[in-house]
Amino acid sequence: MVQYKALADSSLRILGCILLLALLVGCAENISPPAFQFHTSAETLWGGAPASIGVNMDGAEYSWCSYPNLKDLEYVKSEGVNLVRLPIAWEMMQPKLDGPLNSTYFAELKGFLGNAASLGIGVVIDLHNSGTYNLNWAKDAAANSGIEAPDASDASKLGSASVPITAFANFWYQLATATKGNPALAGYDIMNEPNKMPTANTWPAAAQAAVNAIRSADVITPIIVEGDNWASAQNWPTININLKIVDSANDIIFSAHQYFDTSGGHYVKSYIQEGDTPNTGVQEIAPFLQWLQANNFKGYVGELGVPSNDPQWIPLLNNVLNVLQANGVPATIWNFALPSSTDPLWWVSQIKNTSVPENLNIAPINGQISPVMALIFQHSFPAIISYSPNRGTVSDNMTDASVLTLTGLGAGDSTVNVYDGAALLGTTTSNANGAWNFMTAVLATGAHSFTAIEINSSGDISEPSSALTVTIAPAIRSTHLTAPLL
């Protein structure tokens, strides 16, 4: 993504040492229903339905930052996030083309995945290099006080003589071999926003080579293939008409990105100046969704976002999320970044400066909850996953018990309201990884339709869960008694 890079480039010119920076109240009446319906066959990346709305958590791809920590993950989990896209740098993971992986950097990735798994969060590993590899990474960093990031001006393009496609395949073979089977692994996003590639065929060929390499090591994990030309959803069908990837595991997910301004996500102009409407975003993602439908492909929107400092953008984003979820297309919003104690002060200053429109940070800065993060929670769905005791046939959702314990999953540390039809049965709370239990009072004989909603500490309300229907039938006990011996 380009927001932080633009901020950092500007700061470099000014400060000489900075390179990158990666509500609904009063607006609800402006939110329109989805303008399009696309019945794609896309599936969620991390289980369950409807499609997950998650977040990008950047930082690890920058030389001066570290991987997000457990506290960061616990916060996003409390906001209903079950899917995270994690940018990493090719040069930091593999300092020399075709060489071994950096054991220290990989160990930090493994630690992040472990923390995510402990909270039930799926992670998409995103190679955030924009179709490049910087052969001069170490030299450039040394000349700039250790500061370096992917896609520098002197980086070489993938598919060039300097960075052959075989090196790209080698990287993905090694990383897939090292990470396959990790319980948090939701997908391999093989390259962020490839653009200005050597030829029109370079990216399809490189993507196919990476897929083949991954499948020689890992036949289970979904592989995410972004489109050429910065993966633009709006321009997808014309730019990526030849992006047809063969996968022996038949688990390719095509990924688009979309920002809703005319400056590529920098949001130089205001909502009014852009001339946007609440349905502008739906119209701009339509070409990608239509392409998915026409080709019966699975899809994912890996980056999208709007400024948090102008509530006029929120209805637009809400409508986009409505359409994506209605059609089984998951998304991860850009971007969640909390400063850590080891971050340089200039970086902390940049990610905290949310008054700058192009800073799309949705982390809670200066005690302020981002309206975009609030929207993510409102698009989250808890799930009632089981009940007990179940003394009937497991598949028939019948029991002779009149007091049930419902078990569910959802946002971490939230209040859970449990309903039987329209009647509120009571409340409980989830733990840090989103798990909760609720014991009913005595239930009447007959069918019961249980649902749940969640409320976070800010008072935001989730969507209701899917209904779990259970029939209380006291006579069921006799049908399972063993006949007496004669």
Which two structure tokens, joined as six digits, stand for 204? Answer: 């399809």
Tell me the C-alpha distance between 239 and 389, whole Å: 55
- Counting every residue, how long is the chain? 486
Beta carbons of 115 and 69 less than 8 angstroms apart: yes
- Topology match between the domains 24-378 and 383-480: no
Sequence ranges of the domains in the chain: 24-378, 383-480
Beta bridge partner(s), residue 405 = 388, 439
Q: Give the side-chain half-sphere CA count within 13 A for 482.
A: 3
Residues 6+ apart with CB under 8 A from 151: 5, 129, 130, 132, 134
Tell me the C-alpha distance between 143 and 136, whole Å: 11
User: DSSP states of 275-295 as a string?
Assistant: T--TTHHHHHHHHHHHHHHHH
Tell me the C-alpha distance between 58 and 426, whole Å: 39
Reading the chain (486 residues) residue by residue, the pLDDT tens digits are: 443 343 333 332 222 232 222 322 233 333 333 333 332 223 345 444 578 999 999 999 999 999 999 999 999 999 999 999 999 999 999 999 999 999 999 999 999 999 999 999 999 999 999 999 999 999 999 999 999 999 999 999 999 999 999 999 999 999 999 999 999 999 999 999 999 999 999 999 999 999 999 999 999 999 999 999 999 999 999 999 989 999 999 999 999 999 999 999 999 999 999 999 999 999 999 999 999 999 999 999 999 999 998 999 999 999 999 999 999 999 999 999 999 889 999 999 999 987 787 889 999 988 889 999 999 999 999 999 999 998 766 567 899 999 999 999 999 999 999 999 999 999 999 999 999 999 999 999 999 999 999 999 999 999 999 999 999 997 654 444 444 444
CATH class of 24-378: alpha beta
Tell me the C-alpha distance between 223 and 311, whole Å: 35
Burial of 309 by CB count in 10 Å (0-12 exposed, 13-18 middle, 19+ buried)? middle
| Verdict on whether the full-model pTM lies above 0.85 | yes
The dotted CATH code for 383-480 is: 2.60.40.10
